[in-house]
Amino acid sequence: MSLKAIREKILSDAKEEAEGLISRARHEKKKALEDAEAGLAARAEKDRARLAESLGERKRRNREHALREEERVLLNTRRVLIDRALQNAVDLIASSEDYTELIGALLSRCDFTGDVEVITAAGDAGRIDQGFLDRHSRGDVRFVLSPGHHEGRGGVILLSGKVRRNATLEMIESMVHEELVMELSGRLAVERLADR
């Protein structure tokens, strides 16, 4: 073989080798790009799923927060309405014609014996006097009008020795208030379950 033939053979072999290397490099480049695209697509899908889950969780938390806030506002509104209604009821009771019958009923349920001091509201000075108390005294109990008054809108405070019974309208109102709040809270829980 001549020098020229050897040279052409070397060039031909080198060219084939170079083309093979270039082809393999292109193939590896293409595969690397496909793998990278597939990896990016998978990562993007995971990121989308994580973002959707995060948004869904945030939406759920916001909805729960809004429901709790709505419930709080509703409870506060109900409490204000109950307070207002009970205050109006106390004013109506204290100014009603049957008010003295209510006080008589409270006195009839008194389980003290002996002399029982009766403290009235300042507004009851003309309606509840010693004569009224004498009519409601019994054999084992004698009601005595106190010279002082309590600060409430109505009702009485009964004193026997060191024992004190508060039967003012405000005390009765506070007891009824808690019962109403508990009843409405129970209803709210049922309403909330029905809404879900």
- pLDDT higher than 70, residue 166: yes
User: What does the pLDDT look like over 106-161, one tens digit per residue?
Assistant: 999 999 999 999 999 999 988 999 999 999 999 899 999 999 999 988 999 999 99
Alpha-carbon gap, residue 7 to 18, rounded angstroms: 16
Q: Where does 44-190 show beta strands of DSSP type E?
A: 114-121, 141-150, 155-160, 163-168
Range among 27-41, 88-102, 149-163, 182-196 rated most confident: 149-163
- Token couple for 106: 């409270």
How high does pLDDT run on average in the chain?
85
Indicate the domain borders of the chain. Answer: 37-196
Check: CB of residue 87 under 8 Å from CB of residue 173: yes
Alpha-carbon gap, residue 168 to 93, rounded angstroms: 12
Q: Does domain 37-196 have CATH number 2.30.42.10?
A: no
Work out the average pLDDT over 42-60.
87
